[in-house]
A = this chain, B = another copy of it.
Amino acid sequence: MFTLYSMQRSGNSYKARLALAQLRVPYRLIEIDILKGESHTPEFLAKNPNGQVPLLEVAPGRYLAESNAILWYVAGSSALMPEDRVNRAEALQWMFFEQHSIEPNLGAAYFWLTLVKGGRELQRHAFEDWMEEGHRALGVMEKRLALKDFFVAERYTIADIALYAYTHVAHRCDFDLAPFPAVRAWLARVAAESGHVTMDFDPAAVAAAK
């Protein structure tokens, strides 16, 4: 069985939890609070020298890091993975875009505004860049979604999961989605997908309650 090291309020961790839930893959969940330094203990750094969650133990002692690589791995050849080589590459294109243009801006704003007390003051110098580049990246998504219901292969895939994670909480951290109607309609479509779970979903709590 997989073991997922995850932080409940992390968008990157949510990607893995959402895909595993929709694929009905059982796994052990270990909560790591990065705000308490739990991803920088010697034990955790031995598993992931980059000190980040999510981290998936795919075989005993074999660890896979980076949320989008985990998504790609767990999707395998399931319905969440596009079928042909060009579409698979295009899914990766949008996932690299997510890590380069969405996560460092929307994700950073989310982290400092909603998770870190006093984060707005601490990161005052960076907010303007995050807002400007984040809105630009949302504009790129809007152009795509004005033409298509989902990012790749005309259906819901790991590319949508990757981009959904931080976009669906953008309104909580100063981003205005009003100018992006196609993005808003896509957010609703993703949330309506079969087996969808919210970021607050805690499979351990659900299992314990059964």
Q: Which residues of A contact B (CB under 8 A)?
A: 49-50, 58-59, 62, 64-70, 72-73, 76, 85-86, 89-90, 92-93, 95-97, 99-101, 103-104, 125, 140, 143-144
Contacts and interface: CB of A to CB of B under 8 A. Distances in A.
A125 B124 CA distance: 13
Given A66-B92, A140-B49, A85 B97 contact: no
Nearest to A90: B64
Integer count of this chain's copies in the complex: 2
A100 B98 CA distance: 10
Given A50-B101, A59-B86, A104-B104, 14 more contacts: A49-B140, A50-B97, A58-B89, A64-B86, A64-B89, A66-B96, A66-B97, A68-B96, A69-B89, A69-B90, A72-B92, A73-B89, A96-B99, A125-B125
Contacts of A101: 50
A134 to B, nearest CB: 14
